[in-house]
Structure 1
Amino acid sequence: MALKVLVVDDDFINRKLIQTLLKKNPKVTEIIEAENGSDALDKMKKDPSINMILLDIMMPVVDGIEFLKIFRSDMNNAHVPVIVLSTDDTRKTEVYDNGANDFLRKPVMQDNLYEKIDQWAN
């Protein structure tokens, strides 16, 4: 399966690091970046072919939890896996309760990221 991945993180360096890891994965055919949840929602509306989201929690404007609430309220988005990337393990339950499919602790290791991609890329 060809993956079009949306990377949502307010930190430019984090987005570039994740993008570098994703470019090495042959399943990933396109990478789109968003710097907050609001930007991500706009990009999802413009490009419904995005089929995986890597989401930070702590961001300005619309944070990851609020993004999940809005995104998951639309049943058309139920099939899109959302993997949360965060340094904050204490919010795992909250992200799962709001519709995240999985969680990876930052800093993200390539093997762990690829394992999650393989798991959720259907």
Structure 2
Amino acid sequence: MALKVLIVDDDFINRKLLHTLLKKNPDVTDMIEAENGSDALDKMKKDPDINLILLDIMMPIVDGIEFLKIFRSDMANGHIPVIVLSTDDTRKTEVFDNGANDFLRKPVKEEILFAKIAQWSQA
């Protein structure tokens, strides 16, 4: 399966780390990076082929929760899985209530991330 993944994180190092991890995954063929939720929404509009989103919560301009609210309000996006990556476990319920499919604690472990990607890309 060829996956196009949108990495949404305001931290350049986190984006690069995820990029490096995803390069090792044979299912991931393309990666797009966004610095915040607003940037991510623009990229989603421009590229309807994105089929998985890795989303940070704490970001400037439009944070992860706001992104989820806007993103999930469009029924056309219902099939695209969103995996939230955060250091803050207390936000778990909130992200699921707003339409996230999964939650991973940072720092992300490669094998767990790949298992989640496999799970959601086949769902």
User: Smaller-chain TM-score range?
Assistant: over 0.9
1:93 deviates by: 0.2
Q: Deviations over 1:34-71 (max 9, x none)?
A: 00000000000000100000000000000000000000
Q: Which residue of 2 is the match for residue 63 of structure 1? A: 63
Which residue identity is paired with 2:16?
Answer: K
Partner secondary structure for residue 103 of structure 1: strand
Identical aligned residues as a percent: 82
Say whether residues 1:109 and 2:109 are aligned partners: yes
Uncovered stretches (5+) of structure 1, i.e. residues with no partner = none
Q: Deviations over 1:88-119 (max 9, x none)?
A: 00000000000000000000000010010010
Say whether residues 1:18 and 2:23 are aligned partners: no
Which residue identity is paired with 1:42?
Answer: D
Q: Distance in 1 between matches of 2:119 and 2:51?
A: 13
**RMSD (Å), alpha carbons:** 0.3
1:8 deviates by: 0.1
Q: Distance in 2 between matches of 1:117 and 1:72?
A: 19
Uncovered stretches (5+) of structure 2, i.e. residues with no partner = none
Which residue identity is paired with 1:87?
Answer: T
Partner secondary structure for residue 71 of structure 2: helix
Q: Distance in 1 between matches of 2:113 and 2:63?
A: 21
Q: Detail structure 1 runs of 4+ shifted over 3 Å in the superposition.
A: none
